[in-house]
């Protein structure tokens, strides 16, 4: 099944499964959780379901910085920039990921392996500064740990290709 159809089917299922009519933000959050981003076709279908214009849906989605509009990389990296992580130099960690991956936050590497995003507090402040690779929480992040993590991934990817 093509991805556009998959998204449309998901919207139908999402609305048919809801007891009360979902609001726009709730539907956008659910769609991003399902697909890892907000597909254009999904936002259009959502607009139709909620009887609002696609421009309205897009305007709301772009207002909140937790929504992304391109598919995440195979290894989505999220750097926490909540207060505790920010105080403990989370910014240096984000900068270092950007330098090493050659992308800015919100972008995906050319080979679609990595995406990089900043997120608000992920709820484990005692481990700050924190990054997530997929669902795995990495504690006490530092630029050196970024190097180690990316090297470890590179070795694993090379092993997987053999
Ligand atoms: S501020 Fe980063 S986990 Fe809470």
**22: pLDDT strictly greater than 80:** no
Residue 21 has pLDDT above 80, yes or no: no
Pocket mutation for ligand 1, best pick of 88, 91, 126, 130 (most atoms within 8 Å of C-beta): 130
pLDDT band at 18 (very low <50, low <70, confident <90, very high): low
Using an 8 Å Cβ cutoff, are 73 and 112 in contact?
yes
Single pTM value for the model = 0.79
Q: Of ligand 1's atoms, which has the minimum distance to the CA of residue 90?
A: 2
- How much distance in Å is there from the Cα of 73 to the middle of ligand 1? 23
- 82 compared with 64, residue with greater pLDDT: 82
Query: What percentage of the chain exceeds 90 in pLDDT?
Result: 73
Ligand 1 atom having least distance to the Cα of 82: 1
Q: 């926490």: which residue's tokens?
A: 80
Q: Is 45 within 8 Å of 3 (Cβ atoms)? A: no
pLDDT in tens, 95-139: 999 999 999 998 999 999 999 999 999 999 999 999 999 889 999
Q: Which domains does the chain have, with CATH numbers?
A: 3-63 (1.10.10), 75-161 (3.40.30.10)
**pLDDT at residue 155, as a whole number:** 92
Site residues for ligand 1, CB cut-off 6 Å? 80, 82-85, 121-125, 128, 130
Strand partners, 136: 133
* Burial (0-12, 13-18, 19+ Cβ within 10 Å), 129: buried
Return the ligand 1 atom nearest residue 129 CA.
2
Residue among 84, 93, 94, 140 whose CB has most ligand 1 atoms within 8 A, to mutate: 84
pLDDT of residue 19: 59
Report the SS3 class of residue 57. helix
Counting runs of H as helices and runs of E as strands, what totals does the chain give?
7, 4
Q: What pLDDT does residue 46 have? A: 92
d(CA 131, CA 138): 5
CA 31–ligand 1 middle distance (angstroms): 24
């Amino acid at each position: 099944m093509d991805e556009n159809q998959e998204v449309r089917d998901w919207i139908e299922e999402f609305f048919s499964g809801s007891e009360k009519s979902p609001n726009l933000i709730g539907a956008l959050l659910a769609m991003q959780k399902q697909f890892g981003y907000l597909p254009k076709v999904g936002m259009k279908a959502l607009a139709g379901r909620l009887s609002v214009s696609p421009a309205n849906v897009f305007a709301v989605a772009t207002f909140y910085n937790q929504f992304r509009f391109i598919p995440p990389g195979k290894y989505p990296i999220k750097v926490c920039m909540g207060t505790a992580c920010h105080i403990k130099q989370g910014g240096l960690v984000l900068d270092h990921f950007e330098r090493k991956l050659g992308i800015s936050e919100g972008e995906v590497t050319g080979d679609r392996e990595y995406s990089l995003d900043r997120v608000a507090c992920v709820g484990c402040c005692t481990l700050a500064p924190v990054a997530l690779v997929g669902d795995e929480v990495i504690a006490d992040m530092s630029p050196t740990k970024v190097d180690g993590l990316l090297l470890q991934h590179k070795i694993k990817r090379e092993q997987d290709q053999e």
